[in-house]
Structure 1
Amino acid sequence: MSIYQEEYKRKLVTADEAVKVVKSGDWVAYSHFALTPRSLDEALARRKDELFNVKIRSVSSIHPVKVATEDPNQEHFIYNSGFFSGIDRKLQDQGLAYHIPGLYAESPVNIRNGQSDTPVVAMLVTTPMDENGFFNFSVSCSYARALCEMAQTVIIEVNENVPRCLGGDQECVHISEVDYIVEGNNEPLVEIPTIPATEVDKKIASLIVEEIEDGACLQLGIGGMPNTVGQMLAESDLKDLGVHSEMLCGAFVDLYEAGKITGAKKNIDRFKMVFTFALGNKKLYDFIHNNPACAIYPVDYTNSVEVISRNDKQISINNAIEIDLFGQICSESVGTRQISGTGGQFDFTFGAVRSRGGKAFICMSSTKKIKENTMSRIVPTITPGGIITLPRTVVQYVVTEFGKVNLKGKSTWQRAELLISIAHPDYRDELIKEAEKMKIWTRTNKRLSLVG
């Protein structure tokens, strides 16, 4: 038995034993996205009658969070999330989840500098220990290393069925830095189903694809439209595409297998598909496992504006909920109801525009349905209570199924005209009237060309 195996045996405990270190008033940090701890979360929830005012922080949980659901009166636990998933939204609607606003890129420095509440206990899902005593953070690197450095107690929940993601940087923690090891839930990672593309998605995707050149470096998110972009790129004549993205999704695998992704033209991390977390299906997770074509990094590297801008032709593609005639983007809330978070949208929009030949796209259908009502996503002003994810000063391309416009360097009246030109025709007359009231419409604006 090696020295590391002996240490492993000494630190191996049950989940119920491990969570005994949590005290009333503590901050507890969970690993995030597909790696939300399950065994430790369930064990901590079982201690609810012994604990008070324990604060938990996570990001976009894919599993039901027991510390929240088992304590509906919040007498014992307060659950917080840095980016809401569907599960987090449901908890919010019950008054059981709170959002932690922030730029994704700043997460590690906030933890290390104490600007976030320093976790007393970190509970992280990892791969099994390797022969050198290291546990790999798998598909959720982000700021896991920072948590290990700052937490007083580090608990590892081992899952034998998660992929090992090669670095990169800061993708592992050594057993000497770990306090307790739990052999937890070994279920395969939850798969996120591919959202079928709508005709609107396909139209928007086609408008974006025609802006992408050979050697471009891609950032894609999850959803029907980004997957459609990936499919169209796979069927195109483009070559030598690269990847520098916060998220690795299934579309990248399809592009790689089609021979479109080589990374040969990247200025940094050449030949590597760079990411900080992955979320998708089994095909994606199998592709990532021990694959030297992929490199996982902490989020203060992947989402650094300076790093993003170092690759030429960086392409950033993100979604939005609504945009107003000033060009302000709301991508994370409907009124005061939190839907997601800022995430890396600001980081990649800001970074891509600074890349030589780079382009940042904000995409959305021209309308949305709320119950039985159809509404324009291009509005005079952001819905009251809505969160501004991107200020008007950083927005570049905006794309709907009716076209794409570039707002960079444009005055208020030019922005209003451009945005109304890609609004649904049914709403253009009313938007013009509102623009006139807002004093952002001139006699030279193209009124007739925008109507009908």
Structure 2
Amino acid sequence: MYIEEYRKKCVSADEAVKVVRSGDWVEFSWAANMACLLEEALARRKEELHDVNIRAAVLLKSSAILESDPTGEHFTWNSWHLSGSERKLVQNGQAYYIPIKYSEVPRWLRENLQTDVVAIQVAPMDEHGYFSFGVTISHYAAAIEKARAVIVEVNEDMPSIHGGYDHVVHISKVDYVVEGGHRGLPVLPTAPPSEKDKTIAAYVMPEIKNGACIQLGIGGMPNALGQMIAESNLKNLGIHTEMLVDGFVDMVLAGKVNGKCKQLDRGRITFSFAAGTQKLYDFMKNNPVLAGYPVDYTNHPCNASRNENLISINSCLEIDLTGQVCSESAGSNMMSGSGGQLDFVEAAYYSKGGKSFICLPSTYKDKQGQIKSRIKGLLTLGAVVTDTRATIHYIVTEYGMVNLKGLSTWQRAEALISIAHPDFREELIDEAKKLKIWRQSH
């Protein structure tokens, strides 16, 4: 019965984007859900549009909109969370970051933000008239509630995802359907773990017990940990995470995950969006073990912390001697975003038996090739504090692991210096003395 309505709403991409007006705010793609045909069609309308604001995030491939308008005279790109390519665009003045905790996005869309058009990629419609949002549930339902017009680009290769709620949109709420055929999904390559990553992961592994519920961030270290878990003797693990990545698939296929010890969504893998290789997308297709939810469900500390023994593993760029963590900028240059890191740092500590780990290599090389410490007396001028010092639990480098909860400032300085690169420890002690947070202990 829904096929006739579907056919009436089927139009070309060029016809669909005529609904966009100058001054509109368009909620666009997130990560692997890039609506390529709609983007290309919107770019072709450049000369007749002005002050159109695009909201998107985690751009995984080149953008036709940005390429068509490098000076930003017609379109402004606003990102919820920066990918590597968006980072460069921000530094060139072509894009702008929206500072927000990821868990707050759906409410902010409903209560505060102008949203005129939603233009997203979806899976093919099912027999009941529903389009699955596919690998990105995130905040789409909230945006659709506010929009004047909703356009869906159907990708035959987008997997339909089982969910909890707000993971689908019905044809009755859609204004235009653009058939995209088989488009594939953009791949997010997983960086192979370095030796430092493996060493850091080895410090965390003993803290994970049978029945724990796991949240992993993205990057080499979480990937190393996922591989170690897959090869370990751990069992009865659960997954409650913001982002689903390839490492989780390895854990499931190795028989480490059944979710039977979870208190929330027992037996299911809870997530809000996914990006990775084709292995991940194949695993997700019509998989009833998955529970895709909007991000205000997955990331809200009150929800995530209901799972006992929640283990949260994330990375950062630098940390100061009092425990302030920067995970999103290099000085004033934005690198990524707040995301859901603070949500899970708090949730893991609220969880009965839970633990939060922030992991980082002790050093990095600057543009001149000089080695610098990631543990600093003070954060780099302009650096954004992602996690406040009061929320931090465990910090891990390749030189060890320390628990900062409840420590005074001098104890924190001492603990962090103990896991800094040895070449920088004396320098850091001098910094701590200047900051009046050093006490010569035994």
TM-score (norm 1): 0.96
| In 2, Cα distance between equivalents of 1:303 and 1:443 | 41
SS at 1:92 equivalent:
helix
SS at 1:123 equivalent:
strand
| In 2, Cα distance between equivalents of 1:185 and 1:356 | 47
SS at 1:56 equivalent:
strand
SS at 1:141 equivalent:
coil
Equivalent residue, structure 1, for 2:14: 16
Equivalent residue, structure 2, for 1:98: 96
What does 1:329-408 correspond to in 2, within 5 Å?
329-371=325-367, 372-408=369-405
- CA displacement at 1:442 relative to structure 2: 1.4
Aligned residues: 441
Equivalent residue, structure 2, for 1:149: 145
Equivalent residue, structure 1, for 2:285: 289
- Is 1:327 aligned with 2:308? no
| Cα deviation 1:74-117 (Å, max 9, x = unaligned) | 11110010110012112223211100010000110001112xx3
SS at 1:157 equivalent:
strand
Of 144, 159, 165, the match for 1:169? 165
- Is 1:241 aligned with 2:237? yes
What does 1:21-40 correspond to in 2, within 5 Å?
21-40=19-38
Which residue identity is paired with 2:410? W
| In 2, Cα distance between equivalents of 1:241 and 1:153 | 42
| In 1, Cα distance between equivalents of 2:67 and 2:94 | 8
Which residue identity is paired with 2:83? S
1:217–1:241: 8 Å Cα contact kept in structure 2? yes
1:398–1:404: 8 Å Cα contact kept in structure 2? yes
Which residue identity is paired with 1:340? S
What does 1:188-207 correspond to in 2, within 5 Å?
188-207=184-203
SS at 1:182 equivalent:
strand
| In 2, Cα distance between equivalents of 1:112 and 1:194 | 34
SS at 1:31 equivalent:
strand
| In 2, Cα distance between equivalents of 1:88 and 1:201 | 25
Identity within the alignment, %: 53
- CA displacement at 1:31 relative to structure 2: 2.4
Which residue identity is paired with 1:25? G
- Is 1:414 aligned with 2:411? yes
Equivalent residue, structure 2, for 1:265: 261
| In 2, Cα distance between equivalents of 1:351 and 1:375 | 32
| Cα deviation 1:249-284 (Å, max 9, x = unaligned) | 111111111111010111111110100011111111
Which residue identity is paired with 1:5? I
Of 301, 306, 311, the match for 1:310? 306
SS at 1:169 equivalent:
coil
SS at 2:311 equivalent:
strand
1:306–1:351: 8 Å Cα contact kept in structure 2? yes
| In 2, Cα distance between equivalents of 1:257 and 1:176 | 38
Equivalent residue, structure 1, for 2:118: 122
2:77–2:95: 8 Å Cα contact kept in structure 1? yes
Equivalent residue, structure 2, for 1:182: 178
| In 2, Cα distance between equivalents of 1:42 and 1:215 | 47
1:38–1:185: 8 Å Cα contact kept in structure 2? no
2:60–2:188: 8 Å Cα contact kept in structure 1? no
- Is 1:430 aligned with 2:427? yes
Which residue identity is paired with 1:421? S
1:23–1:51: 8 Å Cα contact kept in structure 2? yes
| In 1, Cα distance between equivalents of 2:37 and 2:200 | 42
1:332–1:338: 8 Å Cα contact kept in structure 2? yes
- CA displacement at 1:185 relative to structure 2: 5.8
- CA displacement at 1:310 relative to structure 2: 0.3
Equivalent residue, structure 2, for 1:450: none
SS at 2:401 equivalent:
strand
| In 2, Cα distance between equivalents of 1:191 and 1:67 | 20
| In 1, Cα distance between equivalents of 2:20 and 2:76 | 14
| In 2, Cα distance between equivalents of 1:190 and 1:269 | 29
Which residue identity is paired with 1:443? Q
| In 2, Cα distance between equivalents of 1:233 and 1:77 | 45
SS at 1:382 equivalent:
coil
1:222–1:249: 8 Å Cα contact kept in structure 2? yes
Larger CA deviation: 249-258 vs 182-191: 182-191
| In 2, Cα distance between equivalents of 1:415 and 1:39 | 52
SS at 1:310 equivalent:
coil
- Is 1:228 aligned with 2:211? no
| In 1, Cα distance between equivalents of 2:79 and 2:402 | 34
1:39–1:185: 8 Å Cα contact kept in structure 2? no
